[in-house]
Amino acid sequence: MTIENMQSEYLNFKKNPNPDDFGDSIESFLNYLKKATAIFVSGQDSSKRRAVCTLLHGNEPSGTQAIFDFLKSKEIPRFDTLFIIASVQAASAEPLFSQRMQQGKRDLNRCFSAPYDDQQGQIAKAIFDLLKHVKPECVIDIHNTSGSGPAFGVAIVEDANHIAITSLFTNDLIVTDLRLGALMELSEPKMITVTIECGGAQDRSSQLIAQEGLYRYLSTENVLAQADDEYLINIYHNPIRLETRDQGEVAYSNEPQENVVITLPEEAEKFNYGMLTNDEFIGYLSPDGMAQLTAKDYLGNERLDEFFEEREGKLFSRHPIKVFMMTTNPLIAKTDCLFYFIGHR
Ligand SMILES: [Zn+2]
């Protein structure tokens, strides 16, 4: 099958489209795309291919903006490039870029493992099939964190290639054994896949990180590791998710709220920066709040009491921890997790 035949019910396919047709804004670009779309752009050299995926989450615009800016510049990528812009329909719901996924649909970045039987699963499978067909040497998947915070990469393998790709965007890499059905879990030696979290959707820096990193990724001769290269990357292993049991409610306020498991401060995103020490309180617990929290590691072991304790109705860490992806969105907090953390002991 040729690449041109990869058009499917679930994934639009466009080869070398004219960027003048995209309009002048990311809004007009969404309108042009209409649904999940793959754009294949011929490079200066067709001896290998690279891929960029983004917008698996419809409320994370930085990758789409970076792709739009790159394509509009009419710069020719170094090698043939496949761009995949996934949750166009979720992102197009008003207000634009406010919905992580379409109402009642699954989180697309949890659908890259069987069964693929619903619509989101079919979109994921169409993306997977296209990647298998195009055979890029590497894939980056650009996201925004749900709260404000610094950029980092996420991979399932710690090796020089995953580190080299991360280094195009950021100096921090999380390596995880947790399997959720995310695109990066498709990583294999012939298709190195790294998730790039380029910071919060509202952070000005996120846009620059996505734009500049994408430019480096698309214009550099070698993005995989070279024999003599050294990368100054901090690596964090297996962050643990702090969650409420049974999707218990989470509130954000500087006063303790009723009918919630925990009340986090309005400015909880501050925990995404630096280390959280064991004398800084994380939130107000309800009377049985501690029992309604869970922090299981990737092996399924409960680690809550090892890392956290209650002091006078407030949640504290027992040891300094590094927090990632703290959200201030109560819906994401209860349905996904409050934050990820790594213990330092
Ligand atoms: Zn995301």
pLDDT digits (tens, 9 = 90+) for 73-127: 999 999 999 999 999 999 999 999 999 999 999 999 999 999 999 999 999 999 9
Q: Cα of 345 to ligand 1 centre, how many Å?
A: 29
pLDDT of residue 1: 59
Boundary residue ending a domain (236, 251, 274): 236
Q: Which residues contact 259 (CB under 8 A, 6 or more apart)?
A: 249, 286
Tell me the pLDDT tens digit for each residue of 276-308: 999 999 999 999 999 999 999 999 999 999 999
Domain that holds residue 258: 239-343
Q: Verify that 217 and 106 share a domain, yes or no.
A: yes
Distance from the Cα of residue 28 to its chain's centroid: 24
Q: Verify that 219 and 255 share a domain, yes or no.
A: no
- Which residue blocks in the chain are alpha helix, DSSP H? 26-33, 62-72, 88-92, 119-134, 160-166, 204-219, 304-307, 330-335
How many domains are contained in the chain? Answer: 2
pLDDT of residue 274: 84
Confidence of residue 344 (pLDDT cuts 50, 70, 90): low
pLDDT of residue 36: 98
Q: Verify that 229 and 245 share a domain, yes or no.
A: no
Q: Label residue 46 exposed, middle or buried (CB < 10 Å: 0-12, 13-18, 19+).
A: exposed
Boundary residue ending a domain (179, 214, 236): 236
Q: Which residues contact 104 (CB under 8 A, 6 or more apart)?
A: none
CA-CA-CA-CA dihedral for 242, 246, 247, 252, to nearest 10: -60
Give this prediction's pTM: 0.91
- What count of other Cβ atoms lies within 10 Å of the Cβ of residue 332? 18
Distance from C-alpha of 246 to C-alpha of 8, rounded to nearest angstrom: 37
AA letter at 185: E
Q: Verify that 324 and 188 share a domain, yes or no.
A: no
Confidence of residue 199 (pLDDT cuts 50, 70, 90): very high
Q: Verify that 127 and 103 share a domain, yes or no.
A: yes
Q: Verify that 183 and 213 share a domain, yes or no.
A: yes
AA letter at 309: E
Note whether 342 and 284 are within 8 A (CB). no
Q: Verify that 216 and 263 share a domain, yes or no.
A: no
Q: Verify that 183 and 268 share a domain, yes or no.
A: no
Tell me the pLDDT tens digit for each residue of 223-259: 999 988 888 899 999 999 999 999 999 999 999 999 9
Distance from the Cα of residue 226 to its chain's centroid: 26
Q: Verify that 250 and 223 share a domain, yes or no.
A: no
Q: Cα of 108 to ligand 1 centre, how many Å?
A: 9
Q: CA nearest 138: which of 179, 167, 111, 180? A: 167
Q: Verify that 328 and 184 share a domain, yes or no.
A: no
Per DSSP bridges, beta strands 138-145 and 262-264 are: unpaired
Tell me the pLDDT tens digit for each residue of 144-191: 998 899 999 999 999 999 999 999 999 999 999 989 899 999 998 889
Boundary residue ending a domain (200, 217, 236): 236
Q: Verify that 139 and 258 share a domain, yes or no.
A: no
Q: Cα of 301 to ligand 1 centre, how many Å?
A: 25
- Which residue blocks in 235-329 are alpha helix, DSSP H? 304-307
Q: Cα of 141 to ligand 1 centre, how many Å?
A: 9
Residue 323 has pLDDT above 70, yes or no: yes
Q: Cα of 184 to ligand 1 centre, how many Å?
A: 12
H helix or E strand, kind and range, residue 100 = none
Q: Verify that 202 and 61 share a domain, yes or no.
A: yes
Per DSSP bridges, beta strands 234-237 and 172-175 are: parallel
Q: Cα of 46 to ligand 1 centre, how many Å?
A: 30
CATH number of the domain encompassing residue 129:
3.40.630.10
